[in-house]
Amino acid sequence: QVHLVESGGGLVQAGGSLRLSCAASGRTFNIYAMGWFRQAPGKEREFVGSIAWGSGTLYYADSVKDRFTISRDNAESTTYLQMNSLKFEDTAVYYCAVSTYHSGSFEATYKYWGQGTQVTVSS
C-alpha cells in the first residue's frame, strides 16, 4: 500500500504560479512512476504529466507542456508539480497517483491515488 498526500493548492490569478507537492508513504519501493491528473467541474479526469521514479523520464499533456514542470525528490518520496502561467482553464482538482509498473497517461495503470487538492485560477 502507498499513501499519497497532496498539498499546495489554492487560489491564484491568471498568469500566476503554484507548486503542488505529493508526499508518498508506505511501500514506496513499489513506486515505478508518479503521475498528476486533474478534474475540472463537469469534466472527466485528465492526465497532466508523469515522472518515472528511477529514470526521471517525463511525460506531459500538450495543454500544459512548457508551462508545468514535474520533479521528484526520491529521498523524500515526494513529487512536485510546478505550474506557471496559469490559465482559467487550469482550474481543477489535482490528483497525484502512483503506478507500480508504468509511466505515462493511462489512468488505469495508476493504482494509488491521493485525495486531491483544489486549484482555482481567477480570470
Rounded (to 5) percent helix, strand, coil in the chain: 5, 50, 40
Rounded CA gap, 80 and 61, in Å?
A: 16
Percent of the chain with pLDDT over 70: 100
Residues 11-50 have pLDDT tens digits of 999 999 999 999 999 999 999 999 999 999 999 999 999 9
Residue 39, Cβ density class (10 Å: 0-12 exposed, 13-18 middle, ≥19 buried): middle
Q: Give the pLDDT confidence score for residue 112 in this predicted structure.
A: 97
Number of Cβ within 10 Å of residue 28's Cβ equals 16
Query: Which pLDDT belongs to residue 49?
Result: 98
pLDDT band at 70 (very low <50, low <70, confident <90, very high): very high
pLDDT of residue 74: 86
